[in-house]
Copies of this chain bind each other. A is one copy, B any other.
Amino acid sequence: MDQRISFVTLAVGDVARTHAFYVGGLGWVPSTYVEGEVLMIQVGPRLMLSLWDRAAFEAEVGPIASGDGVPPITLAHNVATREEVDGILLRAEEIGAGPLSGGQERDWGGYTGYFADPDGYRWEIAYNPGPIGEVVLP
């Protein structure tokens, strides 16, 4: 098994709401959209983000752990400057993302902040000046 991820799939409560956020709000271009079922967006050279109706997810994968609190995952979107971090967080706020955590300096030398998509999935917007940060930038 090569060290590759091909899809990241997140269970979402309302695919139309998710579409309004990622396509309407962020302006991302879907590869596939089936109303009420799934929205797929290409998010890397060989990588898809699949936002899948929660009921269909549970039918195939199993009942999801629920309760108060955040999902045990974050997705990061890395950029080349602190200013881009702040700009994207501002844009996310404008399209209704929340809650947000404003950009801050991190112990490891970067500068990052978070916003939540409509299902609470956290996106970290990150400036990482180290070697790992360089690997992930376009």
Name A residues whose Cβ lies closer than 8 Å to a Cβ of B: 1-11, 26, 28-29, 31-32, 40-50, 54, 57, 61-78, 88, 91-92, 114, 119, 122, 124-126, 132, 135-138
Sample (12) of A-B pairs whose CB atoms are under 8 Å apart? A2-B138, A4-B138, A7-B136, A9-B124, A10-B73, A45-B46, A46-B136, A48-B132, A61-B70, A63-B69, A65-B69, A71-B73
Q: Are B69 and A1 within 8 A (Cβ)? A: no
Q: Which residues of B contact A26 (CB under 8 A)?
A: 1, 3
Contact of A31 among B6, B61, B135 (CB under 8 A): B135
* A47 pairs with B136, CB closer than 8 A: yes
- Residue among B9, B91, B132 making CB contact with A32, cutoff 8 Å: B132
Partner of A47 from the list B9, B47, B72, B74 (CB cut-off 8 Å) is B47
